[in-house]
A and B are shown apart, each in its own frame.
Chain A
Amino acid sequence: DTGVSQDPRHKITKRGQNVTFRCDPISEHNRLYWYRQTLGQGPEFLTYFQNEAQLEKSRLLSDRFSAERPKGSFSTLEIQRTEQGDSAMYLCASSQRVSGANVLTFGAGSRLTVL
Chain B
Amino acid sequence: DAKTTQPTSMDCAEGRAANLPCNHSTISGNEYVYWYRQIHSQGPQYIIHGLKNNETNEMASLIITEDRKSSTLILPHATLRDTAVYYCIVRYTGANSKLTFGKGITLSVRP
Residue pairs across A and B with Cβ atoms less than 8 A apart, 15 shown, are A35-B101, A41-B103, A56-B96, A93-B44, A95-B97, A100-B32, A101-B51, A101-B93, A102-B91, A104-B36, A106-B43, A106-B45, A108-B43, A109-B42, A109-B43
CB contact list, B8-36 vs A, under 8 A: 32, 34, 36
Asked if A74 is at the interface (CB within 8 A of a chain B CB), the reply is no
Whether, in the assembled complex, B98 has its beta carbon less than 8 Å from a beta carbon of chain A, the answer is yes
Instruction: Known pairs A56-B96, A100-B32, A108-B42; list 13 more (Cβ under 8 Å).
Output: A31-B97, A33-B98, A35-B101, A42-B103, A48-B97, A98-B49, A100-B93, A104-B44, A104-B46, A105-B46, A106-B44, A109-B42, A109-B43
The reply to whether the CB of A60 lies closer than 8 angstroms to some CB of chain B is no
Which one of B32, B45, B97, B101 lies within 8 Å of A43 (CB-CB)? B101
Residues of A within 8 A of B85 (CB): 42
Any B CB within 8 A of the CB of A2: no
Which of the four size classes fits the interface of chain A? 20 to 34
Provide the main secondary structure of the chain A interface.
strand
CB distance from B17 to the nearest CB of A (A): 24
B103 touching A107, Cβ below 8 Å: no
| Among A42, A95, A108: residue with most chain B CB under 10 A | A42
Interface of B is mostly: loop
Q: What's the Cα separation between A91 and B100 when bound, in Å?
A: 14
Assembly CA distance A103 to B34 (angstroms) = 9
Give chain A's interface residues, CB within 8 Å of chain B: 4, 31, 33, 35, 40-45, 48, 55-56, 91, 93, 95, 98-109
Q: Say yes or no: B101 contacts A44, CB within 8 Å.
A: yes
- Chain A residue with the shortest CB-CB distance to B103: A42
Contact of B87 among A33, A42, A48 (CB under 8 A): A42
